[in-house]
Amino acid sequence: MKPIARVGVFLCRCGNKIASRIDLAALEARVCRDENVIHCETMAYPCQKPGLELIIKAIAEKGVNRVIVAGCEGRLMMKKMETVLEPLDLHKGQIDMINLRGHVAMVSDLTPELKAEKGAKLITAAAAEMVMMAPSLQTLAKIEGPVMIVGKGVASFTAAHELALNNRKCLVSVASGNPDAILADLHRRYPGESQHHERLKKIISETVASPHVELITQGELSGLSGITGEYTLTFSAPEGAGPLEYRAGAVIACMDAELSPPQDGFGYDGKNVLFQPELEERILRAGIPTGQIIFWINDYEAGYPEFSQLSTRSAWSLAKSIRDRSDKPRILMMYNEKMPIPLSVAERSVSRKLGILWVPFDKAVYPTLQDGYISFCNLNDHVEHEIPWDLVVLSPQRQLGESEKRTARILGLLHKEERFLTGHHVRVRPDMVGREETYLAGSAKYPCDLHEAMRQGRKAAKKTAEMLQKAEDNELYLPRVVCVVDAARCVGCGQCQELCDCGGISVVEGGGGGLPRVVDPMICMGGGTCAAACPYNALTLQNNSTDQREARVAALARQLRPDEVVAMACAWGGLPAADNAASLGLKYDPRIHILGVPCVGQIDPSVLARAFLAGAPGLVLIGCLPEECHHSFGLDHAWSRVNFMKKLLTLCGFDRQRIALAHADLNKPEEFIRTAESFVQTIAALGPIEKTPENISKLQSLYAMAKRNSRVRFLLSAGLRRPWETEFRGDQRHGLDYDQDFSAVLAEEFMQTRVMELLKMEQRFFNLQEIAGKLNEDENQVGERLWEMVHDGHIKRSFKNHQPLFGLN
């Protein structure tokens, strides 16, 4: 049974900062009048020990189970509130904060009474949200079974070694368990790293011998299903046998990047012009080469300067091992003048002793390989010099191999068709930082040397072991703000899975369409754009749902004056910008009412529509700067939804400018103020939406469409920017023709919705003229729509005196 919400509001005087600017007695009186609030109290500092003790007392006495603290920035104070109130069974989502100081008190010259009014609007809106909130249960994460290490990278062994040290069972999928065979092949992916081979050999032997480790040397990874804690991995068996299935609690991927010869233009021929792994191969097979060997560190010229240091280290270590074993070959390193040489002082001295020459060349002129000579432009005299060569060694190209790509795709790691698997920006909770390290290691993540790959493997295993230990000790709770799928409503269209950037959504079992999806709460980051995109409202962001936000925005919009606007500001751009404007003492138009949201991408179109239905004259979404969204593409998705609303507003005959998307940088509060003021002025010039019966019925249709029309919602989600779409041309997220088609569909569906709403309301039969007259639309268009609706079975047609009448089925 859903417990009844009992909302307690605690107002902060903040010394004198709030009390001197807001009439707190009036504010308290207003909040007390709100039927959703059972307790309201003003205190000196609710955030300090004395204040917190009073809050705890009030919660116990009044049976409060939702808390709103109206004081300062929730971004800073929420953690403390949550920590203090957790023992009282109040968790994330049940506590909210209103920035009374930063959004009301400090930022305008309103009278204390008017500020009290504004504060009361924000607080009662938050209370309305709290009443709609259905808190989820605190659930322990269950992670059992062995750890599966896939990907066949060399880091697999260090990871397995570390897990074995922690007495954790693990299954390791590798090509072979023979240390000598592995080391003999290692130069293909990590050239010039023989100094680590002995250590690695020991690790491999120990790992293979460990009772905790089971090697899987046969079959390729072909499938993964389930969620964290209960994964099932399938391996295709060789030669016709049935597929092998393994169960695992956690998965670590250890993969190495593939090295290939440089592209055309460097004279590579595989005989005398080689790339690094080939040189090592030749040394292994045919011994030390003789003559003049030139290492050309060509990463700058080949277009990947970021790997030049890595290539130089390999080249240096190869050169050193050659000179260590024979003093016959002469060795010369050629490098772009822009590259700093990654050698220590001691190594430089070794290099001098071994007679290895380092020759920088002018970055403006690329060296040219000719018969017997290589020419380059000298830095000092700008003369083209020539050096004879017998063997030229180039840097390798690095990229993901096909088998690594396949594995990454199965594991849901490959969201963007890029060269490597690292993703940097998706860090929205601190526990997410470093999570990347718990499942990914090796040079396929980002090019690195052998030592680093081995370290990453160890680190991934360590983090996984820590997680398993926490789960075992019953200390690991599932995150509270994550998406959940209502399997009964899910039709398996897969929109959410395509849009999800965290890879937390998967098909319940097996493959194919039409199957419901399931969310892995340990992976979901609570971005919520998937929930807002669901055509059938089957996905909910728990503890932060669309219903809650609708209630909040409606409660606020109902109380607004005709020239006041709602702003929904994202926690990474708009909201901190507003907070910072206040701490800098800036002032702005008080008619803007700010609601904080974690990401503008999680605002469902129905929330936008609800704001207008409840009477808001204007609504602005203030997100991050373009391409800097913390939640994958939340900002772009908000753009599409705003665009959708603009179309609907036009269909209603209202001005498109009533809704807008804006961008804010948290560190540029002055720009945020310009955004706010410009929008407020636009809306003030437009005036309110008149509350005529016709307008109200149009807004009702608008809301019904945004909320429930699956066709429209599906089309909207289909047009959202996908995580793998890296190109962004600035003006169009998708083609103009898509947009035009979408407008046409909207017009059609809007007319249909209005007809349905009319018929539902009146519950009788109408003729064409009546309907067209009631809707105030063109008779021909209405007629056309009505025939189609009859044809599609949405409404019924009957005849009276040979005249068609239309009504509900």
Partner 1 sequence: MITFKINDREVKARQGWTVLETAREYGIDIPTLCFHEAVAPSGSCRLCMVELKEGDWSKLVASCIYPVAQGITIFTETDRVRNVRRWVFEMLLAACPASAEIKVLAAQYGVVSTRFPSENPEEACMVCGLCMRVCEEVVGLSAISIMDRGVHKKVGSPFLRPSEVCVACGSCVTICPTGAMQTIFDRVRPQPVLPLTQLAL
**Interface positions, 717-756, toward partner 1 (CB under 8 A):** 726
Separation between Cα atoms, residue 466 and residue 460, nearest integer Å: 10
Q: Residues 294, 334: contact at Cβ < 8 Å?
A: yes
Nearer to partner 1, 34 or 96 (CB): 96
Q: Residues 148, 246: contact at Cβ < 8 Å?
A: yes
Does 628 interact with partner 1 (rule: CB under 8 A)? yes
246 pairs with which residues across the strands? 233
Instruction: Write the interaction track for partner 1 spanning residues 518-557; mark x where CB under 8 A is met and - where it is not.
Output: ----------------------------------------
Does 48 interact with partner 1 (rule: CB under 8 A)? yes
Nearer to partner 1, 51 or 179 (CB): 51
Q: How far is CA 758 from CA 345, 432, 646, 763, 764, in A?
A: 84, 49, 23, 8, 10
Contact segment (CB under 8 A) with partner 1 among 72-80, 209-217, 460-468, 541-549 equals 72-80
In angstroms, give the least distance from the CB of 629 to partner 1.
Answer: 11
Does 316 interact with partner 1 (rule: CB under 8 A)? no
Nearer to partner 1, 366 or 787 (CB): 366
Q: Residues 624, 635: contact at Cβ < 8 Å?
A: yes
Does 400 interact with partner 1 (rule: CB under 8 A)? no
In angstroms, give the least distance from the CB of 467 to partner 1.
Answer: 16
**Interface positions, 180-209, toward partner 1 (CB under 8 A):** none
Separation between Cα atoms, residue 55 and residue 58, nearest integer Å: 5
Instruction: Write the interaction track for partner 1 spanning residues 4-23; mark x where CB under 8 A is met and - where it is not.
Output: -----------xx-------
Separation between Cα atoms, residue 394 and residue 281, nearest integer Å: 14
Contact segment (CB under 8 A) with partner 1 among 216-224, 299-307, 607-615, 745-753 equals 299-307
545 CB neighbour count, 10 Å cutoff:
24
Separation between Cα atoms, residue 6 and residue 37, nearest integer Å: 7
Nearer to partner 1, 726 or 803 (CB): 726
Does 325 interact with partner 1 (rule: CB under 8 A)? no
What the block records as the tokens of 287 is 């011994």
Residue of 9, 36, 51, 351 interacting with partner 1 (CB under 8 A): 51
Cα separation of the two ends of the chain = 36
Owner of token pair 């609570």: 526
Crossing angle of helices 768-775 and 736-762, rounded to 10°: 110
Q: How far is CA 49 from CA 79, 80, 169, 472, 545, in A?
A: 15, 11, 46, 34, 32
What the block records as the tokens of 21 is 């600017």
Instruction: Write the interaction track for partner 1 spanning residues 556-595; mark x where CB under 8 A is met and - where it is not.
Output: ---------------xx---x--xx--xxx----------
Contact segment (CB under 8 A) with partner 1 among 429-437, 500-508, 538-546, 799-807 equals 429-437
**Interface positions, 651-670, toward partner 1 (CB under 8 A):** 666-667
Q: Residues 681, 555: contact at Cβ < 8 Å?
A: no
Residue of 29, 433, 761, 808 interacting with partner 1 (CB under 8 A): 433
Does 430 interact with partner 1 (rule: CB under 8 A)? yes
Contact segment (CB under 8 A) with partner 1 among 192-200, 304-312, 386-394, 632-640 equals 304-312
Does 75 interact with partner 1 (rule: CB under 8 A)? yes
Closest Cα partner for 367 from 359, 276, 381, 307?
Answer: 359
Does 80 interact with partner 1 (rule: CB under 8 A)? yes
Q: Kindly state the DSSP code that residue 138 receives in the 8-state scheme.
A: P
Separation between Cα atoms, residue 535 and residue 150, nearest integer Å: 36
Does 250 interact with partner 1 (rule: CB under 8 A)? no
Residue of 47, 252, 297, 567 interacting with partner 1 (CB under 8 A): 47
Nearer to partner 1, 667 or 769 (CB): 667
Does 287 interact with partner 1 (rule: CB under 8 A)? no
Residue of 53, 198, 762, 784 interacting with partner 1 (CB under 8 A): 53
Crossing angle of helices 112-132 and 546-559, rounded to 10°: 150
In angstroms, give the least distance from the CB of 51 to partner 1.
Answer: 7
Q: Residues 68, 127: contact at Cβ < 8 Å?
A: yes
Residue of 57, 79, 489, 764 interacting with partner 1 (CB under 8 A): 79
**Pairing, β 565-570 against β 619-623:** parallel
Does 92 interact with partner 1 (rule: CB under 8 A)? no
Residue of 304, 316, 376, 389 interacting with partner 1 (CB under 8 A): 304
**Pairing, β 147-150 against β 95-98:** unpaired
Residue of 107, 394, 428, 560 interacting with partner 1 (CB under 8 A): 428
Separation between Cα atoms, residue 120 and residue 67, nearest integer Å: 15
Does 306 interact with partner 1 (rule: CB under 8 A)? yes
- Please report the sign of the dihedral spanned by the C-alpha atoms of residue 237, residue 243, residue 249, residue 254: positive
377 CB neighbour count, 10 Å cutoff:
18
Residue of 20, 25, 33, 44 interacting with partner 1 (CB under 8 A): 44
CA angle 166-167-173, nearest 5°?
95
Owner of token pair 């047609």: 797
Residues contacting partner 1: total by CB under 8 A: 46
Contact segment (CB under 8 A) with partner 1 among 3-11, 308-316, 412-420, 507-515 equals 412-420
C-alpha Rg value of the chain to the nearest Å: 33
Contact segment (CB under 8 A) with partner 1 among 73-81, 169-177, 197-205, 353-361 equals 73-81
Q: HSE, CB side, 13 Å, CA atoms: give it for residue 34.
A: 31
Q: Which residues bind partner 1 (CB under 8 A)?
A: 15-16, 44-45, 47-51, 53, 73, 75-77, 79-80, 300, 303-306, 363, 418-420, 424-425, 427-428, 430-431, 433, 571-572, 576, 579-580, 583-585, 627-628, 630, 666-667, 726
